[in-house]
Structures are given as C-alpha cells and as structure tokens.
Structure 1
Amino acid sequence: MKLKKTVVMVGMMGAGKTAVGRAVAAKLGVPFLDSDAEIEAASNMTIAEIFARDGEAFFRKKEAQVIDRLLENEICVLSTGGGAFLAEGNRDTISEKGVALWLDADLDLLWERVRHKDTRPLLRTPDPLATLTEIYNTRVPVYELAELSVKANPDFAIEDMADRVIDALGQRPDVLEG
C-alpha cells in the first residue's frame, strides 16, 4: 500500500489520535508526526505551560504555523491537537495538502480516557466533565467536516482501530493506493 497524501488525525482529546496515528504510520511504513510534540520541542515548553504563559490565542497561532510546516514535508500520518481543526485556516491547509480523518469517539469513552490526566489545560476547571461535555458539543459539528471519519470503539485495541483507519483510507484511491 502506498500513502499518496498526508493523513491528518483530528478529533477530541482522548480520541486516540496519537496512539492510532502511530500504529497507522507503522503499518503503512510512513513517518508519524504529532503537531503538539513539535510545538513542545520548538518552544521547549509543554502545551500546558504555553497555555499558562502565553494564552490559547498565542498557542493556536503557533499551532497553525507548525501544521502548515509539517504538511509541506514528506507524506506522513500527522496527529493534531483537539482544537487544531476548529480553525478554518487549518482546515483549509489540511484539505489542500492532505486529508483529514476524524477519530469519532463518544463522550463516555473520552471522559474515561482523560479524567485522570492533568495534562489537558482546557480541563483544568472546577467541573472537568461539564467542560469536556461543552467542548465536545461545540467541536463535533466541526469535526464532522473532516473528509473521512472512523468511529472509535472502546472494545477495540489500538491495532484494530489502525486497521479500521486504513480501511477507511483505502476507500479513497487518491489517498491510499493498493
């Protein structure tokens, strides 16, 4: 199989974009990149530290620059932060230079995955479940704009989800050949 354009994993925090993206990249023999990891490496700060020091607007500007740069490089699987796809400019860039694939995880699954982590700056609120629910309800209509989607299943291992993603990509000969 030959990947013909970069696959950009989009979706909520906790949907599995990084874990599934890594597995997809390994199965297809292409590099895996993570826009959040690239931002952290470039700034020598965590995403949470950037949010705390510079605010979300600053972070989103840097995120857009990094996504654009990463999409200029070789074809790969690229995982993005949960908010990246919300920006119309990022959606346009992803559509022009790659293909967006939404990992569609339901709210219960997301909460199960993120509730014990303190690395999610947007969930540092008095009621993180209510915050997650609000974010979810706001973002899902935007994620639905992705060209491809794969429903996350809590019973599936990462490898199973990767196979489902590859099956979805295979429906698009302009994205995955063979």
Structure 2
Amino acid sequence: MYSTQYQSPVGVITLESSGQHLTGLWIEGQKYFAQTVDGKVESKQNLPIFEEVKKWLDSYFEGQNPDVSILPLAPKGGEFRQAVWKILCSIPYGQYITYGEIAKKIAILMNKPSMSSQAIGGAVGHNPISIIIPCHRVVGANGSLTGYAGGIDKKIKLLEIEGVDMTGLFVPTKGTAL
C-alpha cells in the first residue's frame, strides 16, 4: 500500500492506493481516518493513480464536475456499505439526497420492507474515499447538514464548491429536533 498527500481548500488530504486503485481519501482530522488501512503504508508521490486523482481533485476544487468513472476506485467494505457507496456515486454533482431516501433505495435493492436511516448513516460515515464518493451530498430529512466525518465546515465548503442551493439547509444546533 502507498500513500501521498494533497493540499486542498479543505485541508491536507491523504490518498491511499494499492498501486493500481485508489483505496482511500481522507481529509486531515477526519473521523475514521485511514480506518481501512491494512499493514504498512509506504509514502510515494509519483504513482500514476495519485497523479490521476490529483488532477481530478484540481478540477473538482476549481468548481468543475470531473468524471468519477475515470478513476479506478477500490473502497474496502462489506456488501451493505458497498451498496450505499454505489448510491452515493449516483448523486448528481451540485445536488443532495437524504439519508432516508438512500434507506428506501437500499431497502428495495435488498428486498426488505424498510431500512434504518441510522444504518445508512453508519455506511456513509465510514466511506473511505471522501469527496470522490460524495458522502458530503447527504443531508438529514429536514435539510440539516449533519453527519459528515470530515466536519460540517468542510461539508458546507464542498457543497458551496459544487454550487448547491443552500436554501433550506442548515447546521443543527444543540436541541434542534432532527
């Protein structure tokens, strides 16, 4: 496994790769930082995959909508988490979805009558490839900007970069009913 860092408008980002696939992307200080890393990681700056991802990130932070499908992603996680992350990848740039909407999609996919929004939140929160697998595009049912492992301030910044209409979205304060 290999890693490198990228300086971004939301802070230092650590990239992890098997050498062929991107396996991790974490914002400095992110909850669950590098939780999926197995064994020793060697620092390496010039892997082709890192160059591709850095170009993608440059484009993203310039306010463009780079194509995610061109990146070879290999997030580590079980079947449930993989299904949730696949749905995250389908959220259009500049838009958002609620945890409840994802829960309904997963319930249908898994042929279940319902799915817990909290279970979805757990899978979203453990996304090992932040930004590229856009977990920042998930909000609470009432428009609350909650549950971003990188920090709410970074979630807001990412949504602003994408030009999301923030009308109706808010940061919950202590005691706010979600």
- Mark yes or no: TM-score above 0.5: no
Report the TM-score when normalising by structure 1: 0.29
The structure in which a higher percent of residues are helix is 1
